[in-house]
Structure 1
Amino acid sequence: MTMENLKKQIQELESEIEELEERINAKASETATTLARMQAKLFLEMIFAPYMDGVCDAWGVSPEEGLRT
């Protein structure tokens, strides 16, 4: 192998590494977004909704009306 071939192979490998790093970062970002959505959904379903139901019952209004006030 000549020195030029080795340099070319190194450049190709470095390019492939960059592509893989970009894919890994994109996948990590997707995973973080999915987890954040799941946490938000759980918060709304398990904490906020029951709280609003209780407040709205005490106020004597529907949840829709309670959110507007």
Structure 2
Amino acid sequence: MKINKEKLGEFIANIHNMESVVEVYYDKKKNMINELKCLNYNRYKVYHYALADYSENIHKYNLVIPGV
């Protein structure tokens, strides 16, 4: 599976978990947060969140969203 990172938006941060690495992107046009979760065995999953729904994680990981 090939992921086009340009379509995910502007890169914000990496979050390193025990089982995965999460790349966080901000899509200004849609006002959405996109997570690219890199799993084991070269698997990937993309999750989409409204900015308001992601606010708890923004504070938890001290993320800075540009222009917000």
TM-score range with shorter-chain normalisation? Answer: under 0.3
Q: TM-score, normalised by structure 2?
A: 0.21
In proportion to residue count, which structure has more helix? 1
Over alpha carbons, which structure has the higher Rg? 1
The structure whose RCO (Cα within 8 Å, separation 6+) is larger is 2
